[in-house]
Amino acid sequence: MSFSAADVAKIAKLARIKVTEEEKQALAGQIGSILSFVEQLNEVDTGEANIVASVIEQPLLWRADVVTDGGKAPDITRNAPASEYDCFVVPKVIGE
């Protein structure tokens, strides 16, 4: 697929990036090569291929959806300079 420097300029304008004339030519060739490769992928016959989410047949394990605090608050706040009720104590910064 052909991709021109004008196409690159249009994309650069939409993306609000500055591209020099030399970069436009180089990018046009690179983007054209990428689009040609994608076109080749469209030619692959995938009619007999099965759609799979995983290559391993394994059922998903379910667990109860229970909200907890994790039971780690004392461990987490143990090294804090100041803590109260298993929460971090920080200096007041609003309203001063």
Predicted local distance difference test score (pLDDT) of residue 96: 62
Q: What is the CATH number of the domain that holds 12?
A: 1.10.20
Please give the pLDDT value at position 75: 87
- Walk along the chain (96 residues) and give the pLDDT tens digit of each residue: 688 999 999 999 999 999 999 999 999 999 999 999 999 988 888 888 777 777 787 888 888 888 887 788 888 888 889 988 888 998 888 876
* Chain CA centroid to CA 34, Å: 21
Amino acid 15: pLDDT? 95
Residue 76 lies in a domain: no
Q: Domain for residue 78, yes or no?
A: no
Answer for the pair 24, 5: CB distance below 8 angstroms, yes or no.
yes
| Total count of domains within the chain | 1
Question: What per-residue confidence (pLDDT) applies to 59?
Answer: 83
Closest alpha carbon to 88 in 67, 73, 68, 66: 73
Global model pTM greater than 0.95? no
Element (H, E) at 90: none
Residue 79 in domain: no
Retrieve residue 11's tokens. Answer: 């994309």
User: 8: exposed, middle or buried (C-beta count within 10 Å: 0-12, 13-18, 19+)?
Assistant: buried
Query: How far lies 1's CA from each of 4, 29, 32, in Å?
Result: 10, 10, 6
In a domain, 93, yes or no: no
Q: In this prediction, what percent of the chain has a pLDDT beyond 90? A: 40
For residue 24, give its domain range: 5-42
